[in-house]
């Protein structure tokens, strides 16, 4: 079955939100994506479409280096595939297409928090080995991939994610 990866459109929003909630079995990640859409900062939001149905979604948003490095990094999060379509390579297609898009728009490294057993196959490596950190308890899950070889050689310290990932307590 052919998968088309394309930009998310406003007409997709509610379907994407449903898809994210189904994949994560909760609405926290869909709320993050809503906040990113409403933000005035750039982000990338792609969907995977199969026979007219949305079966996957991936988002990339800017990160900051607390040491102030003038470096264009982003975070991959969230990524979601419809539960009944998981394990068929759709997540991999979204990641590969997303990394290509990040390069095109000028981001030169991508970070994420996730299971290394999955993300290492796309070239992601442990950020702590480069001296890059986030919240201490999440550090073992923080991974990066360079889209330009050696671009992170001189970077170190804390990175922070888009404010959409830290919604105020309600
Ligand atoms: C994670 C997710 C996006 C992967 O998409 P997918 O289309 O199912 O993945 P693919 O078909 O490309 O790859 C399947 C492989 O990834 C592995 N995999 C999937 N999710 C994994 C996870 N969370 N941890 C480790 N491995 C995982 C599968 O075991 C399978 O491994 P194999 O190729 O060795 O058999 C999808 O499973 C999903 O939406 N999960 C729920 C939401 C979620 O956890 N998102 C990621 C948060 S970091």
Q: Is residue 124 part of a domain?
A: yes
Q: Is residue 80 part of a domain?
A: yes
Q: Is residue 170 part of a domain?
A: no
Q: Is residue 17 part of a domain?
A: yes
The CATH number given to whatever domain includes residue 42 is 3.40.630.30
Which pLDDT belongs to residue 2? 87
Reported pTM: 0.95
Residue-wise pLDDT for 85-108, tens only, equals: 999 999 999 999 999 999 999 999
3-class SS at 1? coil
Q: Is residue 94 part of a domain?
A: yes
Q: Whose CA is nearest to atom 48 of ligand 1?
A: 114
Q: What is the 3-state secondary structure (H, E, C) of 65-92?
A: ECCCCCCCEEEEEEEEECHHHCCCCHHH
pLDDT in tens, the chain (170 residues): 789 999 999 999 999 999 999 999 999 999 999 999 999 788 999 999 999 999 999 999 999 998 888 889 999 999 999 999 999 999 999 999 999 999 999 999 999 999 999 999 999 999 999 999 998 789 999 999 999 999 999 899 999 999 999 865 54
Q: Is residue 89 part of a domain?
A: yes
**CB of 122 sitting under 6 A from ligand 1:** no
- Cα of 88 vs centre of ligand 1, distance in Å, is 9
- To test the pocket of ligand 1, the residue of 24, 91, 138 to mutate (highest count of ligand atoms within 8 Å of its CB) is 91
Contact, 57 vs 94, CB < 8 A? yes
Q: Whose CA is nearest to atom 32 of ligand 1?
A: 87
**CB of 116 sitting under 6 A from ligand 1:** no
3-class SS at 14? helix
Residue-wise pLDDT for 36-57, tens only, equals: 999 978 899 999 999 999 999 9
Q: Whose CA is nearest to atom 28 of ligand 1?
A: 87
Total domains in the fold of the chain: 1
* Domain around 139: 4-165
- Cα of 68 vs centre of ligand 1, distance in Å, is 33
């Amino acid at each position: 079955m052919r998968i088309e990866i394309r930009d998310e459109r406003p007409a997709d929003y509610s379907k994407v939100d449903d898809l994210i909630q189904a994949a994560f079995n909760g609405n926290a990640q869909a709320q993050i994506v809503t906040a990113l859409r409403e933000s005035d900062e750039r982000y990338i939001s792609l969907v995977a479409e199969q026979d007219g149905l949305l079966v996957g979604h991936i988002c990339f948003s800017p990160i900051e280096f607390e040491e102030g490095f003038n470096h264009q990094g982003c975070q991959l999060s969230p990524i979601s595939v419809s539960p009944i379509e998981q394990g068929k390579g759709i997540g991999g297609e979204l990641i590969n297409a997303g990394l290509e898009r990040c390069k095109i728009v000028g981001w030169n490294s991508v970070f994420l928090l996730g299971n290394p057993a999955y993300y290492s196959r796309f070239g992601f490596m442990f950020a702590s080995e480069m001296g890059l950190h986030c919240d201490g308890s999440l550090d073992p899950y923080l991974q990066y991939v360079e889209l330009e070889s050696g671009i992170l050689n001189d970077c170190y310290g804390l990175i922070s994610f888009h404010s959409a990932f830290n919604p105020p307590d309600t």
